[in-house]
Amino acid sequence: MCGRYRLSSAGKVKLAQIFEAEDDLPPEEELAPRYNIAPTQVVAIVRELHGARHLSLLRWGLIPAWATDKAMGNNLINARCETVLEKASFRESFRQRRCLVPADGFYEWKAYGRTKQPYHFGMADAALFAFAGLWDRWRSPQGSWIETFSILTTQANDLLREFHERMPVILARGQYDTWLQTPAEAAKGLTDLMLPWDAASMQAYPVSTLVNRPGNDSPDCAERITLPEQASLGYTLGTPRGEQD
């Protein structure tokens, strides 16, 4: 699954340039570096609106348009790619409202006895990338609109498998248009894009347990640390290797 991620290398101007998107954020709104993004927080995504890409701020945790309570979104931070066309919560969004979720990395945890050690996962060259996402718009009983998103997950690749059976769907840059622009009637064919990312082009390394608390959002959350057992084994995990869930 994907329950925590990072977007710290690009502000709104750079993100808009990288994703060739129009900036929908207020002029005074700047995107501060985020090292520990958690569910229910508002973050930047890229979506297609009226024939153009737009950089927008949405809340993480998809609230379906038909939901009666916004708390439903707390349980819909991820959508399994295998069942996304079957689940009522995601079906229409997958057909008509797909998005890109920019990220520099994400976190998973591994159990060591009674403790869980967090690890950071990202590209071997530390490049910015994008998760495949879905979005929706929900109207509260008071009449206000809330726009939300969810991140697609797929089977874990070789690097992730020892940490979790699932991983977020990562899209190649050449797949962005296909993901955003494919019409609803052809959405079923997008399953070809929802494959595990190549493990050989990724890296993983242990980080501080600071990331365990959503309130912590500093560079220290993403800094590599050395674990005692790593020193004794004589290797570095960070060396590149060849949903609702």
Active site residues: 2, 108
Q: Where are the alpha helices (DSSP H) in the chain?
A: 12-18, 91-96, 176-181, 228-233
Q: How far apart are CA 104 and CA 168, in angstroms?
A: 13
- Any idea what the Cα angle at residue 28 is, between residues 65 and 10, rounded to 5°? 80
Residues paired with residue 98 on neighbouring β-strands, in sequence order: 134
5 vs 221: CA distance, rounded Å: 10
Token digits of residue 118 = 């967090």
Distance CA 123, CA 164 (A): 18
Longest dimension (CA), the chain: 59
Contact, 167 vs 88, CB < 8 A?
Answer: no
Instruction: Look up residue 87 and give its two tokens.
Output: 């689940």
Q: Residues 6 or more apart from 112 whose CB is under 8 A from it?
A: 229
User: Cβ–Cβ contacts within 10 Å for residue 217, how many?
Assistant: 20
Q: In angstroms, what CA-CA distances link 154 with 85, 169, 175, 194, 242? A: 14, 6, 16, 7, 19
Give the three-class secondary structure for 218. coil
DSSP 3-state assignment of 115? strand
